[in-house]
Each structure stands twice: as structure tokens, then as C-alpha cells.
């Protein structure tokens, strides 16, 4: 989102609330458009423009365990400093009297993206033999628990001392 900072003077702040669709890399999700609502304050410190606020993103994800599509909302803080010229990787550039908040929001969104996408805490996943979604029903396959190569090791722990 482009934000005009023309009328913002030093020591003054402006309350902002905006919604925008952020494009995320395909490696994070099959769904590359994420609607994000951002609320916060924009204030000027010298020639720098600082933003502090919070964001809420409505994610559409694919479960890593059962491969079903589900929705998840995440909330995260958004902080950023915009400068006319910078050699610091943590700052964002602005030109004229306009800042573009998309890169700041995208950075914070990717930092707060879930590492493991699970549709629910007790997701049973897929059957390792037939691929049936075990959250819907049991498939009837005979599945052995654990790796058979570790049976002798398991027997050691099963013995009473």
C-alpha cells in the first residue's frame, strides 16, 4: 500500500488502518495471495519514517499431515523504519513523499509464517499403506507401530529391571 507522508511533521503521528493483498512466494503456500489487515502508527523522526503496529493475515494452507485445505488466521507485530537512503538491510527505502508498506508487511508475514501447517492439533494424517485420510475414517489396513528394525532395542526397554 502506498502511503502519502507529505503532511507528516516531526514528532507527529498518524493512526493508520489498511487492508491489502500480499503476494507471497509459492514455497510458503499453494495460495500466493494473502489478505492482510494492518493497524498502527506512522511517525516521523528526523528524515526517517517509523511504523509500529499489528497485522492479521488470513492464510489458506494445505495440511502437512492429511493434505486437506484449511484456513488459519495469524496475528503478528509489524515494525519498520523507512529512510531516503540506507545501507542497513533492516531499513526500507522511500522516495518522494510516499512509502510503500508492502515489503515491510511481507517481511514480517514471512517471519511469522507457521513452520508446520496442521489442520488441527489431533490430525491423524494419511494411512502409510493406502493413503486414506484417517481423520475421516479408519481404512482397515493393518499398520504396525514403529520401525521393525528397532524391535530388539524396544525389547530391552520392555524388560523389568
Task: Give me the half-sphere count of Cα atoms (radius 13 Å) on the Cβ side of residue 62.
Answer: 8
Q: How confident is the model at residue 67 (pLDDT cuts 50, 70, 90)?
A: very high
pLDDT for residue 160: 66
Q: Which residues of 132-147 are buried (b: 16+ CB within 10 A; e: fewer)?
A: ebbbeeeeeeeeeeee
- For residues 45-49, average pLDDT: 82
pTM metric for this prediction: 0.75
Q: Where are the domains of the chain?
A: 2-123, 124-161
- φ, ψ (nearest 5 deg) of residue 109: -65, -45
3 state SS of 8? coil
Contact call for residues 74 and 44 (beta carbons, < 8 A): no
Amino acid at each position: 500500500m502506498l502511503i502519502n507522508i507529505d503532511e507528516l511533521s516531526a514528532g507527529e503521528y498518524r493512526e493508520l488502518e489498511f487492508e491489502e493483498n500480499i503476494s507471497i512466494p509459492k514455497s510458503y503456500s499453494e495460495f500466493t495471495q494473502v489478505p492482510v489487515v494492518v493497524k498502527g502508527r506512522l511517525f516521523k523522526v528526523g528524515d526517517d519514517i517509523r511504523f509500529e503496529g499489528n497485522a492479521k493475515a488470513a492464510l489458506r494452507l494445505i495440511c502437512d499431515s492429511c493434505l486437506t485445505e484449511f484456513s488459519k488466521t495469524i496475528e503478528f507485530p509489524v515494525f519498520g523504519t523507512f529512510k531516503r537512503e540506507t545501507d542497513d538491510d533492516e531499513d526500507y527505502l522511500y522516495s518522494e513523499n510516499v512509502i510503500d508498506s508492502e515489503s515491510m508487511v511481507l517481511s514480517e508475514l514471512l517471519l511469522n509464517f507457521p513452520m508446520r501447517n496442521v489442520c488441527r492439533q489431533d490430525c491423524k494424517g494419511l494411512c502409510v499403506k493406502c493413503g486414506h485420510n484417517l481423520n475421516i475414517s479408519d481404512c482397515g489396513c493393518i499398520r504396525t507401530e514403529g520401525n521393525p528394525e528397532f524391535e530388539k532395542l524396544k525389547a530391552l526397554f520392555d524388560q523389568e529391571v
